[in-house]
Amino acid sequence: MAKDFFGRNENYSQWYNELVVRADLAENSAVRGCMVIKPYGYAIWETMRDVLDKMFKDTGHVNAYFPLFIPKSFFSRESDHVEGFAKECAVVTHYRLKKNEHGTGIVVDESAKLEEELIVRPTSETIIWDTYKNWIQSYRDLPILCNQWANVVRWEMRTRLFLRTAEFLWQEGHTAHATEEEAIKEAETMVNVYADFAEKYMAMPIMKGLKSPNERFAGALETYCIESMMQDGKALQAGTSHFLGQNFAKAFDVKFLNKENKLEYVWATSWGVSTRLMGALIMTHSDDNGLVLPPKLAPTQVVIVPIYKKEEQLAQISEMALKIKANLEAQGITVKYDDRDTQKPGWKFNEYEFKGVPVRLAIGPRDAENGTVEVARRDTLSKEVVNKDAIATLIPALLDEIQQNLYNRAKQRITETTRNVNTWEEFTSEIEKGGFLVAHWDGTSETEQKIKEETKATIRFIPIDSHFEDGKCIYSGRPSKQRVFFARSY
């Protein structure tokens, strides 16, 4: 670890920003608020994308692609939707440039003004529902279970790599159904898919529930979410799934003939996760030595580093290392053998530790003679020397152990930082310590807004199946039937 690398407790924000850049994940671009995702960072995102894509297809969904540009008039059809995104929209007004009158620069050609301005998509509900109108006539055309992988633009002023950028990558599912029950089931199914992905692949424990009306997606009747807790005590929304009712079908006049031969509006959902998951992954597991990656998402799961002084030593080590590499790769494990002669072994150790490679194998001349390998774990930074013949069975089990250990550590952190509070005095004191506060709320948007204004804490989610009990709202003192989860958040 470089001496000038900030620790988490020293400056968490600076620690995060520097880790993202120095681990070669991403960097700021020439366009303010936008990022360049570097090859190593994109490799992690590709793995996430591929796993999620299979999970979507396993639940019956197919991929499609819809336009980047959306006519401005489409946004005016669903009032809540336009209000929710109006302040973040990037607008295209012209379609041509020209040289200025002096021939020294480029200006907008005012004669090439668009008849209707175009919005660079912040989300695709409007363009997709205008399209679905042409696809749906009868109940036989339903359900439509489409997903698209795309980029979107939301003109954020305060940005942070992966967590909040003006342009980001994501997937957005948009489904159409014949009944309300079917659409609600779809929304619930997809939030469960996200939960499974977060816990089984990201090793990130999550809380699952419903958003309050104030925090609900613009145009949705209900928003399901997964939330997790980062190491600095702030919550992060990792994925959302929305039951849209018939709002967009009515806005775009999408009707179908039901089995009784009657016209009815279609029922809808949308759901999505984005490159924000990269930020969640980093902040859930990483430490003062750099990035820590769960094996299931690591582009390189095992790296082998030779330690030698003479070329003949390297030849002997390489023979052993390449056999180990082949045996592990035959089991589906990604392995890199780093025999570069441009960097010393110590430098390589630091590099792979900082980049979060789960397991490092080191082989020196004595190891080659004795048939041994040094095995180092990134999660615990522990090392042990084992016989080379044990590697083929040891490493798969070790990767599983690391995956589970990362999940257990994060789960313990959530457990330790989630607590009930019963009074406003207790709430205002405890919120300064971070974590989830489980408290009674009177169910009004007014109270929710007051709590946010006075403490910067929001309702992260309303539990679906638990925390029902009679009580009094911590802020207003009015009756409450259920506790909800508050936290400060990203």
Q: State the DSSP string of 330-354.
A: TTT--EEE---SSS-HHHHHHHHHH
Alpha helices in 165-253 (DSSP H): 180-200, 247-251
Three-state DSSP at 362 gives strand
Residue pair 175/143 in contact by the 8 Å Cβ criterion: yes
Kindly indicate whether the domain formed by 418-487 is annotated with CATH number 3.30.110.30.
yes
Element (H, E) at 176: strand 167-177
Ranges of each domain in the chain: 12-73+123-285, 300-397, 418-487
For the whole model, what pTM was predicted? 0.95
**What whole-number distance in Å separates Cα of residue 13 and Cα of residue 3?**
17
Contact 27, 165 (CB under 8 A): no
Residues 376, 289: Cα–Cα separation, whole Å: 14
Sign for the pseudo-dihedral over CA of 44, 45, 49, 55: positive
Mean of the per-residue pLDDT values for the chain? 96
> Could you tell me the pLDDT band of residue 205, with boundaries at 50, 70 and 90?
very high
User: What value does the mean pLDDT take over residues 119-144?
Assistant: 97
Residues 6+ apart with CB under 8 A from 151: 68, 167, 168, 169, 170
- The pLDDT of 232-237, averaged and rounded, is 97
Label the pairing between strands 267-274 and 263-265. Answer: unpaired
pLDDT band at 4 (very low <50, low <70, confident <90, very high): low
Secondary structure (3-state) at 223: strand
Q: How far is CA 408 from the centre of its chain?
A: 20
pLDDT at 467: 73
Per-residue confidence (pLDDT) for residue 86, from 0 to 100: 85
Between CA 247 and CA 256, with CA 253 as vertex, the angle to 5 degrees is: 100
Least confident of 73-87, 98-112, 334-348: 73-87
Q: By percentage, how much of the chain surpasses pLDDT 90?
A: 92
Give the mean model confidence (pLDDT) for residues 457-465: 95
* Residue 468, pLDDT score: 87
Residue 222 CA to residue 210 CA, distance in Å, equals 7
Residue type for 339, please?
A: D
Looking at the predicted structure, is the pLDDT value of residue 2 above 60? no
Mean pLDDT along residues 360-387: 97
pLDDT band, very low/low/confident/very high, at 82 (cuts 50, 70, 90): confident
HSE (CB half, 13 Å, CA atoms) of 341?
7
pLDDT digits (tens, 9 = 90+) for 39-62: 999 999 999 999 999 999 999 999
The better pLDDT of the pair 101, 42 is held by: 42
Q: Are strands 62-63 and 144-153 parallel, antiparallel or unpaired?
A: parallel
**Confidence label for 1 from pLDDT (cuts 50, 70 and 90):** very low
Model confidence at 6, in pLDDT bands (50, 70, 90)? confident
**Confidence class of residue 23 from pLDDT cuts 50, 70 and 90?**
very high
Contact between residue 254 and residue 266 where contact means Cβ atoms under 8 Å apart: yes
| 8 Å CB contact between 69 and 120 | yes
What are 159-177's pLDDT values in tens digits?
899 999 999 999 999 999 9
Under CATH, which number does the domain 12-73+123-285 receive?
Answer: 3.30.930.10
Superfamily classification of domain 300-397: Anticodon-binding domain (3.40.50.800)
The whole-number pLDDT of residue 58 equals: 98
Model confidence pLDDT, tens digit, residues 391-435 = 999 999 999 999 999 999 999 999 999 999 999 999 999 999 999
Q: Tokens standing for 3?
A: 């001496």
- Segment 124-135 mean pLDDT: 96
